[in-house]
Amino acid sequence: MTDQLLLDFCKIHIYDNFMVVNINTGVNITSSHNNALTTIANSYFKNKQFVYITHRINSYSIDPAIYKEVSKIDNLAGFSVVSKNFMAKSTAQIEKLFLDKPFEIFDTLPEAIDWAQNLLK
């Protein structure tokens, strides 16, 4: 499965067991954004483990409290951030402290996809 969804704040690519999300520049991710992403994840991965991959091509912000909500998604097996930007990676290191799921940071999308597939084996 490879579907592409376009929301007002992001682009999402859905695969068999993971989703890749590109958030638009300047967005501040809030609970309402998270709720929209969770609804999509639930519709595509109902009763199935999946990994969320955020491909941080653009600059945006996220309320770290969101990760408390994300941690409650039972079928979320892991979360990863893909970026070569030092600041984005530094921010992700802090975000990692707020999520109670496996959380990794990668330079490239293929690395994150490999990690996701290994995590789900």
pLDDT tens digits, 97-118 = 999 999 999 999 999 999 999 9
Model pTM?
0.95
Q: Give the domain range for residue 39.
A: 3-119
Whether the pLDDT of residue 29 is over 70: the answer is yes
3-state secondary structure 20-45: EEEECCCCEECHHHHHHHHHHHHHHC
Return the pLDDT at 1.
59
Whether the pLDDT of residue 39 is over 90: the answer is yes
For the chain, what is the largest distance between any 2 Cα atoms, rounded to a whole number of angstroms? 36
Helix, strand counts (H, E) of the chain: 4, 8
Domain CATH for 54: 3.30.750.24
Neighbours of 108 (CB within 10 A): 12
Mean pLDDT of the chain: 95
